[in-house]
A and B are shown apart, each in its own frame.
Chain A
């Protein structure tokens, strides 16, 4: 958390004890470098969350716009990545709130791959569909915890939860996912 907060601008961090370098906005060149290195991974994350390429595009743009509007005290890539994923999670949650909880996310059309890649494409499609059966908050929780390796406190800040609730929610999300995998025959040992 301390690393992540250090990445934020002076006006957004109040509990800093050591003097930090002045927070400045990203330059165009810095933005292009970050976009090149993180854009694809962030888009993949947003695509997994939303299941929709157009939504993922929009949310990617919003996430980078927010990043560009925030003065940053660091240019460390791992800190920027963590911060960017946190912004993207917030943007996604705002998106879901705006569009309503009842809104059904449309499944992308089933893959029409060549015979060589058919199995992999179908499996990928099933995996994505299974993931979208989880609630948005559960998706973000699982991704941040188990793919990005975020700490519970970071996840709590991102999702507006108490830090103590995160392990419990994570446990429930994992259990729900395990149930879905079992139901669909998609467990790691069954691939």
Chain B
């Protein structure tokens, strides 16, 4: 498509926009230039469209718009105020997960031993207690179990908070 406008078009469009008649030279050009005629027709038509009365329609209640704008602004302020707390929640969760990973890496041999023994030891708890023995293998086994339970609880609490926020 050819997108070059006629050199007189700008002046003719301005004249059409102002609603006045172009001067004699421009009028003569307008009569001879179909492109300029098209442009002027389009401009005049747009003015007519704008001037045509719109449908009789009741505008929305301004009080409702004012109230809505205040509400949106308040929400925005609250959202901005809550942003650091949100960030802290996420940091808490990340910290908890990092602690768990560090703990598992640090105590890997003990953790793996405990889990491999956990199911058989639970099943044999009753008989072991009856025989006077222990399900866990001494104080280190107890510390591992408690540590794992605490970290599990921490992770669960973190996920619970995250889900409830969402």
Q: Which residues of A contact B (CB under 8 A)?
A: 28, 31-32, 35-36, 39-40, 43-44, 47-48, 53, 56-57, 60-61, 64-65, 68-69, 108, 123-124, 127-128, 131, 142-143, 146-147, 149, 167-168, 171-175, 177-178, 181, 186-189, 191
Contacts and interface: CB of A to CB of B under 8 A. Distances in A.
B48 interface: yes
Interface size classification for chain B: 20 to 34
A68 B65 CA distance: 9
B76 interface: yes
16 contacts: A31-B62, A32-B62, A43-B59, A47-B54, A61-B64, A61-B65, A143-B50, A146-B13, A146-B17, A147-B49, A171-B5, A173-B42, A174-B43, A175-B42, A177-B45, A181-B41
A110 to B, nearest CB: 13
Given A64-B69, A127-B52, A174-B39, A186 B45 contact: yes
Contacts of B47: 146-147
A172 B57 contact: no
A40 B59 contact: yes
B66 A53 contact: no
Q: From DSSP, what is the main secondary structure of chain A's interface residues?
A: helix
Interface string B45-75: 1111110111101011010111011101100
B48 A53 contact: no
Interface string B131-165: 00000000000000000000000000000000000
B59 A65 contact: no
A44 B76 CA distance: 30
A168 to B, nearest CB: 5
Interface of B: 1, 3, 5, 13, 17, 38-39, 41-50, 52-55, 57, 59-60, 62, 64-66, 68-70, 72-73, 76
B69 A175 contact: no
B46 A69 contact: no
Contacts of A44: 50, 54
Contacts of B5: 167, 171
Nearest to B43: A146
A131 B48 CA distance: 12
Contact of B38 (A69, A127, A174): A174
Nearest to A64: B65
7 tightest A-B CB contacts, nearest first: A178-B38, A68-B69, A44-B54, A174-B42, A188-B44, A146-B46, A147-B50
Given A31-B66, A61-B68, A142-B46, A188 B59 contact: no
Given A127-B48, A147-B46, 10 more contacts: A36-B62, A47-B55, A64-B62, A68-B65, A128-B49, A147-B49, A147-B50, A171-B5, A172-B1, A178-B39
Contacts of B38: 174-175, 178
Given A167-B5, A181-B45, A188-B44, A149 B17 contact: yes
A57 to B, nearest CB: 5
B2 to A, nearest CB: 10
